[in-house]
Amino acid sequence: MIKKLLVLFALCIMAVVPAHAELKVDIIAGAAEPISVAVQKIETAGNVSDDDAKMIRDVVDADLKSTGLFRIVSRDALPEFVQMGKMPDFTLWNAVHAQVLVQAKLSAESGGRYNLEFYVWDVNGKEQIEAQSLVASKKSARRLAHIMADAIYERLTGEVGYFDTQIVFIAETGPVQSRIKRMAIMDQDGYGLRYLSDEDTFVMSPHFSPNMQTIVFLSFRDDDPMVWTLDLETGEQRRLGQFGGMNFAPRFSPDGTKIALSLVKNGITHIYEYDIASKSLRQLTFGYSLNTSPAYSPDGKKMAFNSDRSGNQQIYVLDLETGDVERITYGAGRYATPAWSPDGQFIAFTKMADDTFYIGIMDPRGRNEKILAGGWYMEAPSWAPGSRRVVYYETEKSLDGMERMSHIRSVDITGQNIYDIPLPDGVYGVEPTWSPKLP
């Protein structure tokens, strides 16, 4: 079960509007110079684990560094430690080329809780630009670190943070000829992986509900490919319904009241919408083509999907109010697996051309296509909150062609800063989906 963090308060103590040019990183420019951030050793008070204090600092450093937008000042280069509540000597921090200074204090409270206070300083402006105080159980210390990193990221970029999130995916183990596929979940940095399904049931295509309470997925339980839901609190699994044919590729609507899915009837695959409350099914696409991979727009008014109705696989957008369908991809090759960004500005996609797979983004009209990554096989883009990064999986084959190694990777919308999300030895990952920010 997901460990719930009880944040009793996240209090902004001080946020001064500077009179000079505001310190802010440009997240659009691909070659922007990173902002240098110095994170001091975390102070402790009361019955605090030194390991927890060190872990929080390490996680904040790693989160910020992973974006490619920040350079973490070496700890060996940091000037003399400055206690919380005391004014830093900004001359010393300028000398080590720190543009941002972060101070933090971790205190033990009654009831097995931690209080994490932190200050963020603009070194050149000589002023405090962020201050927060967070309270959570000691078991949730790592989440406190991610929330702290989100706050720093949001203050310096003006965008939504994505560190306090999770990724659900299909974990593969064993030889390629007899791979075991299990649904698994982990933090966005690869920490805390745990399995959500057993080794005996083949599963695919997991996706979160907007409130993070439910995962919808395809299960081949009893050799019957059907859409199921998993309650993350109770662990209960339920079949969505009996629809008279194979159904797959499920996605929640933005308000969580509906699930779009593909359903095969009489050899024809169409997209349907299942209303959870009324348990009714509405057909959305028609004709004799194959239609799948539905993806709602953030406002729930449109749906991107891929179809071969033009002769080969392309991406279309359906207006859910009028029923009008518009083709939006016309580039060379085939297009599939559309994923609408949370801010509505982009659609991510998989492209197949010249014996190569690509992950790319475009605007909702299919214009301004930008390739972010390419390789032997890659698929299933999914967006982080804030629409800054895309997660996907890439499969590589060994030199003898007998092995398949699938990695979960993340890339930002500039096409730079690609990195692997670490998995345990012997575990490969496919079909990742990024969660909303945790409740």
Backbone angles phi, psi at 51, to 5 degrees: -65, -40
What pLDDT was estimated at residue 4?
40
CA distance 383 to 341: 6
What pLDDT was estimated at residue 246?
86
Q: What is the mean pLDDT of the chain?
A: 91
Alpha-helix residue ranges (DSSP H) falling in 70-203: 90-95, 141-157
CB 375 within 8 A of CB 357: yes
The band of 162, judged by pLDDT with boundaries at 50, 70 and 90, is very high
Backbone angles phi, psi at 19, to 5 degrees: -85, -25
Which residue reads 């992950």 in tokens?
359
What pLDDT was estimated at residue 64?
97
- Residue 18 or 425, more confident: 425
Helix, strand, or coil here: 436? coil
Mean pLDDT of 65-91: 94
Please name which of 27, 327, 298 lies closest in space to residue 162, comparing C-alpha atoms.
27
What pLDDT was estimated at residue 266?
87
* Helix, strand and coil in the chain, % to nearest 5: 10, 45, 45
Reply yes or no on whether the pLDDT at 299 is more than 90. yes
Structure-block tokens of residue 331:
């580039």
Amino acid letter for position 167: I
Give the range among 21-30, 124-133, 271-280, 283-292 with minimum mean pLDDT. 21-30
Alpha carbon separation from 348 to 108, 162, 236, 376 (Å, rounded): 44, 18, 32, 18
The residue ranges of DSSP E strands in 165-283, in sequence order, are 166-173, 180-187, 194-195, 203-208, 214-219, 226-231, 237-239, 247-252, 258-265, 268-275, 280-283
Task: Report, in angstroms and rounded to the nearest whole number, the Rg of the chain calculated over CA atoms.
Answer: 23
CA distance 423 to 409: 11
377 CB-side CA count, 13 A: 10
Alpha carbon separation from 151 to 68, 103, 135, 272 (Å, rounded): 17, 13, 14, 39
Which residue reads 């993350």 in tokens?
232
pLDDT tens digits for 304-320?
Answer: 999 999 999 999 999 99
Strand order in the sheet with 247-252: 247-252, 258-265, 268-275, 280-283
H or E segment to which residue 359 belongs: strand 356-362
CB 246 within 8 A of CB 264: yes
190: left (phi over 0), alpha (psi -120 to 50) or beta: left
What pLDDT was estimated at residue 58?
98
H or E segment to which residue 60 belongs: helix 50-66
What pLDDT was estimated at residue 24?
60
Please name which of 24, 29, 25 lies closest in space to residue 413, comparing C-alpha atoms.
29
DSSP secondary structure code for residue 417 in this structure:
-
pLDDT tens digits for 28-59?
Answer: 545 468 999 999 999 999 999 899 999 999 99
Please name which of 123, 122, 127, 164 lies closest in space to residue 10, comparing C-alpha atoms.
164
CB 82 within 8 A of CB 106: no
CB 418 within 8 A of CB 409: yes
pLDDT tens digits for 333-372?
Answer: 999 999 999 999 999 999 999 999 999 999 999 999 999 9
What pLDDT was estimated at residue 397?
77
What pLDDT was estimated at residue 402?
62
Structure-block tokens of residue 348:
């991510």
Reply yes or no on whether the pLDDT at 242 is more than 90. no
pLDDT tens digits for 373-395?
Answer: 999 999 999 999 999 999 999 99
Give me the domains of the chain, ranges plus CATH numbers.
35-157 (3.40.50.10070), 166-434 (2.120.10.30)
pTM over 0.95: no
H or E segment to which residue 326 belongs: strand 325-327
